[in-house]
Structure 1
């Protein structure tokens, strides 16, 4: 499915700048013919918590906690169901610029998809067991750099770094990773258990974990990703509240061994979100998030199991999402099998990794309880040359 043929968006929140307010941003929601000025609507119609909804971004709302989130979502759902009433509060999309919807506090990227972990292991260690011994016992992850998280549409400059012994220069193997991001709120001390983990998840974004594979491969000896990842992470402009995804919950895949007791419970459920990866205008893969081995509640629980707390604005990446079929792989590393099998694009072009000028767009849909699907928006970024 191309970005132009995606179904209508569900209820979502973000922030935009422009439209007569230079230098200022406001909370908005996507509607068919533009965006909705949520703060103006809440003020004029005495909606819930106008002091939160007239803020420049979602920071204050994230800090308010789940009862407030549910109240705002129910109120906004009711208004969006009657579009004719929204005319006075619509903003034309022309002249508006999306801004980062919230201030990122901490950013942790996980490695929650078994298929991706196996593929990466087979590519990099073809003569060894593809999964590390700990992989099925805990959600593996690393701390990324919150300061380089960017909103959809922000150009991505090809990074430079050490590509090997005595070799420094622009990456030759710039890649993408199709992920879901969990946006957390409600600052709390840790640990957080499985029974309350989802109470602290405000919603989800689409996330592109841009990766310089040659830099990453040289520096990851023995510690985890650093400069090969920290130059840019893109997220969608719209955050889809977790309440909007009530029809998307699904059972996790079979596990062996069973997770330890602290990672078990009724909240151990995955999200049936289907992503689309579009490269240079071509739809190249459809990664299924329902296949993630580790689920949102487990990621939050494990993150805090050592006593670490949560802060409003924490962002958790799922790690690359890949299904069992080649057309479901969520990175060029897998789609080109380490660069050995080029991807064929329309017009005769081929790619193993990204070229300067390439634009990558991720889309996603999720089901409602009635079986229809809605869009979670998109995250896009275009590669620009190293200065």
Structure 2
């Protein structure tokens, strides 16, 4: 009998992490079929994608409300496909607003639910734990502190390791001198990374401030700027903001930005965890709508928003190894001042680098993709 996996990945990061696990699974079980939602990487594995991450990547309360009708249609279509195809197991990856709805439906249909990358209920919406306890068969978490948190709430969670660390460990990049030669960058000039995010809403609010900060740093430090552009984001979107700013932007991969930059401006999100693994000195910036920020301030329990600080110092620590500039504080003046400090103060820069690398080392003990694939195999062999 043909075995089928339903997968729901609603963001680029979810597509990446799901594809890593399913690639491991398909090596051992090439006859397994996969359907659901995802991106380029799941598509390359042969998954039948009913919707793509480009369609589903909606962030913030206002954006969700504006896309409510479309998202309801997505859920309806996915439910219909699940009833028609009767999957052997479901792999839900992050993306909690939709995945918890689908977990309930899958449970009602008798489909085992494997949830990989837990909702951050330790930060906000702790009430979601009740749904997780009821509808999720296996919860696979990517931070070791999550195991104790869920145990206190009566949920068995398995720590499988962190997929970001897994991906960074596999990166092989040439020496800095070769990178400089390839892009015609003079030795000795400071390299400053710009990682403005992968969502259009983030780019619109954050990238202009980064560019203005870069213009200041070019005047004061003669810096060269490495721009990490997510592959699915059009070059035109970046170009529209960069016109007239007058700074040199060397476009390269995000991992090249993290490997070669002396310091960086990083939008809060998974990129801060990736940068942590590289030991990249950084300032974290974030801007959202006033409504989103107000609601977030009311519901989020943490002192830090960046994964770099949470992983380095703990979920409830007030200490910030990495400076976080949010909303109006994420001004070009403040961003450039913090990057200047990192460029000028070698001791501070190396102290941050050491703290980040030590934190990354704690996460590097396990490889999650084989562990997730092994859990899925358990349900496929039943």
TM-score, normalised relative to structure 1 = 0.29
User: Which structure shows the higher strand fraction?
Assistant: 1
Higher RCO by CA contacts (8 Å cutoff, separation 6 or greater): 1
TM-score, normalised relative to structure 2 = 0.30
